[in-house]
Amino acid sequence: MPKALVIGGGVAGPAVATLLTRSGWDAPVFEARSEPDPFAGLFLNVAVNGQRVLATLGLDERLRSDAHHAPRMAMWSGRGKQLGVVPNGPAERPEDGGIVVRRSWLHEVIRDGAEEAGVKLTYGRRLEEIRQHKDGVTVRFSDGTEEDGDIVIGADGVGSVVRRYVAPDAAPSFSGLLGTGGFARVPGLEPTPGFQHFVFGARSFFGYLVRDDGTVYWFANLTADAPPTAATSEDWLARLRELHADDPAPVPDILAATPGPLTVYPIFRLPKVRPWWQDRAVLLGDAVHATSPSAGQGASMALEDAAVLADELQRSDVEQAFQRYEDARRERAEALVAYAAGIDKQKRVSRSRIAVALRDLMLPIFLRKAAADHSTDWIFDYDVSRRTREVR
């Protein structure tokens, strides 16, 4: 039985391991964390293209059982004026909208699916080194243990160690945005069924939704010159309350009701990675195309990668499969990264009043045009199962 050593137990790793196990591979997953993280980074949007991959894994219904369905996104100015409502999915198919889930729930669903398929997940194994030899690879972990396999799959996120082996020149850099967020309950705040709301605050960008049970999920993106030195600190909550003090309701109320401390994430960008594979090592997910959270697509793209890579490995020898996978995925991934970087630019806070006024004037026109032109449908219409059928 061929053996794939899968590095990283986030989204892409357990997904690709499940699909490979189903097609006759031994695909153990090695995760650096010592145990599953129950907090695991707030919440995220799983778009319809990612949901389709979860459907092939038989996990979409379970994920939806604890999700906020949000086919629309309402954008607001810092003065409380609605700038537009845009689809979070194909423009005219709200039933194909994105769902927002806690990240820990997404991880749990994918991890359980992997374990049910027979995948062995081992925690506390941080990859340090890859050694290539004639017939395969040996990997060494920080605890000194080693594993042999036919290939190694780098699903180890934006700080990927596998990428250092595959494409040593591609190093992540700080995007100029920090992400943070939390959960709260705000007495009297009504649920927002079908919607997420986004506010171009005067000094920081803010997003929120209210689930049917009244729980508020919120995040903020702060503009910064450098990543913070300490990620967790009560000070971030105090600072955010101050930054959003003049923003429209319910933003200040949500922050007032949020318990601290907050965790702050620097958002990184990655240059184009070339190539995506080397010898017997291949990259997927954030390891090869870290996508800013702004597009709500990183997890979905990681799932798409997993489906295409597993499919190619089922049909060709390793080198051919890696190349066909890269050929199939590169253009779409690079286009998506560029699209998300464009949204980041809008989120960075301008100190110029004229720039803000111009944005508030132009954005409604731009948003209406984008919806009318269906200009983002290409993101959501990608259907991995259709692609794999066509290639066959």
Ligand X SMILES: Cc1cc2nc3c(=O)[nH]c(=O)nc-3n(C[C@H](O)[C@H](O)[C@H](O)COP(=O)(O)OP(=O)(O)OC[C@H]3O[C@@H](n4cnc5c(N)ncnc54)[C@H](O)[C@@H]3O)c2cc1C
CB of 127 to ligand X, least distance (A): 4
Please pick, from the candidates 60, 96, 108, 156, the single residue that binds ligand X as defined by CB under 6 A. Answer: 156
Bin 84: left if φ > 0, else alpha if -120 < ψ < 50, else beta: left
Orientation of helix 103-117 relative to helix 12-22, angle to 10°: 20
At its nearest, how many Å lie between ligand X and the CB of residue 109?
13
- The footprint of ligand X on this chain (CB under 6 A) covers a number of residues equal to 34
Tell me which stretch binds ligand X (CB under 6 A): 53-61, 129-137, 157-165, 243-251. Answer: 157-165
Residues in region 253-272 near ligand X by CB under 6 A: 265
Is residue 298 a contact residue for ligand X (CB under 6 A)? Answer: yes
Provide, rounded to whole angstroms, the least separation between the CB of residue 159 and ligand X.
6
- Separation of alpha carbons 33 and 124, rounded Å: 5
Between 164 and 193, how does the x/- string for binding to ligand X read (CB under 6 A)?
---------------x--------------
Of 217 and 390, which CB lies nearer to ligand X in the complex structure? 217
By beta-carbon proximity to ligand X, the closer residue of 142 and 320 is: 142
Q: Is 136 in the site for ligand X (CB under 6 A)?
A: no
Choose the stretch contacting ligand X; rule: CB under 6 A; options: 9-17, 76-84, 358-366, 381-389: 9-17
CB 113 within 8 A of CB 18: yes
Residue of 18, 88, 300, 376 that binds ligand X (CB under 6 A): 300
- Residues 18 to 47 in contact with ligand X, rule: CB under 6 A: 30-33, 41, 44-45
Using CA atoms, how far residue 115 sits from 9, 20, 27, 118, 315, in Å, is: 12, 13, 11, 5, 24
Among 4, 8, 67, 283, the residue binding ligand X under the rule CB under 6 A is 8
Residue 161 engages ligand X in binding (rule: CB under 6 A): yes
Q: Are 198 and 45 in contact (CB under 8 A)?
A: no
Interface with ligand X, residue 71, by CB under 6 A: no
CB nearer to ligand X: give 90 or 298.
Answer: 298
> What type of residue is 167?
A
Residue 204 vs 300, nearer CB to ligand X: 300
Q: Are 122 and 33 in contact, with CB atoms under 8 Å apart?
A: no
- 204 is a site residue for ligand X (CB under 6 A): no
Among 3, 22, 126, 374, binds ligand X (CB under 6 A): 126
Task: Please report, for residues 26, 49, 126, 300, 317, the alpha-carbon distance to residue 143 in angstroms, rounded to integers and kept in the order given.
Answer: 22, 38, 8, 32, 32
Task: Please state the separation of Cα 26 from the chain's center in Å.
Answer: 26
Among the listed residues 67, 186, 199, 299, the single contact to ligand X using CB under 6 A: 299
Can residue 113 be called a binding residue for ligand X (CB under 6 A)?
no
Here the tokens at position 195 are: 């919607």
Q: How far is the CB of 362 from ligand X (least distance, A)?
A: 25
* Alpha-carbon torsion angle 146, 110, 300, 236, nearest 10: -80
**Please, what is the minimum distance in Å from the beta carbon of residue 36 to ligand X?**
9
- At residue 169's C-alpha, the angle toward residues 168 and 175, to 5°, is 120
Chain residues that interact with ligand X, rule: CB under 6 A: 7-13, 30-33, 41, 44-45, 126-127, 155-157, 159, 161, 179, 265, 285-287, 291, 293, 296-300, 302
